[in-house]
């Protein structure tokens, strides 16, 4: 079996969830790696959209930010940001929003604003950007994050992007009609919201990972689906394409 890192199986596991028919609003970092891996392997017709207004972009290297020229240079077209949000996002034309975050809770709410009290934080993070809008207007949300006690919190100090609020029915009570987070892909396992409660529940565990490891890296008591599966190991093709993408990106940004 080919060796791979936890980050690689997390990225590959996320990429596998995407298909040719998806119109995907892509976040920078791990979401971008996963979406472009899907485009370069099993979903060549996927439509990738970045917050800067680039439609159907096909970058040869991963962008440093939404303002990276690589996105505009390889896009089918670029539209103004207000059009991106009003017509494309709020108009319900995007099937999947792919997000990351600094912290997450058991109902898939995300914090990208502060670590610690809002008025006197230990760390002030970059903020929401377009993520709060993406979280409520895309058809569904995929989240990709590495697990750890400081990231997987029992209670967030601040909710930047709405997941499932306080549980089943919270989104609907706020007038939000989209599904919200349906997949949380981590370096140890994959979570999905429980149908009855919307609490994140482990459905797939990566090869060699134990339930004890998962709990040790989570700030709330982890729940498991009735039938937990093992994540298929990355294939040689998936690893080669992903590693080549990262190598090209590193070389381009070092130039």
Do residues 191 and 201 lie in contact, with contact meaning Cβ atoms separated by under 8 Å? yes
Domain tally for the chain?
1
Q: 146-198, pLDDT tens digit by residue?
A: 999 999 999 999 999 999 999 999 999 999 999 999 999 999 999 999 999 99
Q: Does residue 250 belong to any structural domain of this protein?
A: yes
Q: Percent of the chain at pLDDT above 90?
A: 90
User: Vertex 65, ends 59 and 69: CA angle to 5°?
Assistant: 50
State both tokens at 68. 């990276």
Q: 17-60, pLDDT tens digit by residue?
A: 999 999 999 988 999 999 999 999 999 999 999 999 999 999 99
Q: Does residue 43 belong to any structural domain of this protein?
A: yes
The total of other beta-carbon atoms located within 10 Å of residue 76's CB is 10
Residues marked as catalytic: 51
The total of other beta-carbon atoms located within 10 Å of residue 138's CB is 24
Domain that holds residue 119: 6-254
pLDDT band at 127 (very low <50, low <70, confident <90, very high): confident
pTM (2 decimals)?
A: 0.94
User: Vertex 250, ends 248 and 252: CA angle to 5°?
Assistant: 65
**CATH code at 84?**
3.40.1080.10
Do residues 188 and 211 lie in contact, with contact meaning Cβ atoms separated by under 8 Å? no
Q: Does residue 1 belong to any structural domain of this protein?
A: no
More confident call, 229 vs 67: 229
Q: Does residue 121 belong to any structural domain of this protein?
A: yes
Q: Does residue 71 belong to any structural domain of this protein?
A: yes
Q: Does residue 73 belong to any structural domain of this protein?
A: yes
Predicted local confidence at residue 254, as pLDDT: 85
pLDDT band at 1 (very low <50, low <70, confident <90, very high): low
Q: Does residue 229 belong to any structural domain of this protein?
A: yes
Q: Does residue 65 belong to any structural domain of this protein?
A: yes
Tell me: pLDDT of 231 over 60. Answer: yes
CA distance 90 to 250: 35
Please give the C-alpha separations between residue 154 and each of 28, 158, 221, in angstroms, as whole numbers.
26, 12, 9
């Amino acid at each position: 079996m080919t060796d791979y890192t936890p980050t690689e199986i997390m990225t590959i596991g996320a990429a596998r969830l995407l298909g040719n028919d998806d119109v995907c609003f892509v976040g920078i970092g791990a979401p971008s790696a996963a979406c472009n891996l899907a485009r370069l392997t099993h979903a060549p017709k996927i439509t990738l959209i970045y917050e800067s207004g680039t439609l159907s972009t096909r970058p040869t290297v991963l962008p440093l930010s939404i303002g990276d020229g690589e996105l505009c240079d390889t896009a089918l077209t670029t539209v103004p940001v207000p059009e991106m949000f009003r017509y494309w996002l709020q108009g319900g034309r995007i099937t999947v929003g792919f997000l990351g975050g600094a912290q997450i809770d058991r109902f898939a709410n995300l914090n990208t604003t502060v670590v610690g009290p809002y008025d006197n934080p230990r760390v002030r993070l970059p903020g929401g950007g377009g993520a709060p809008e993406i979280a409520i207007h895309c058809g569904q949300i995929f989240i990709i994050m590495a697990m750890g006690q400081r990231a997987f919190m029992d209670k967030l100090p601040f909710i930047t992007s709405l997941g499932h609020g306080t549980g089943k029915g919270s989104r609907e009570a706020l007038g939000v009609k989209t599904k919200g987070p349906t997949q949380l892909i981590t370096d140890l396992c994959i979570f999905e919201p429980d149908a009855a409660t919307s609490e994140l529940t482990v459905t797939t565990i990566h090869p060699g990972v134990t339930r004890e490891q998962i709990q040790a890296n989570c700030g709330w008591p982890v729940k498991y689906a009735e039938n937990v599966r093992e994540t298929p190991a990355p294939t040689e093709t998936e690893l080669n394409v992903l590693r080549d993408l990262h190598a090209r990106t590193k070389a381009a940004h070092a130039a």
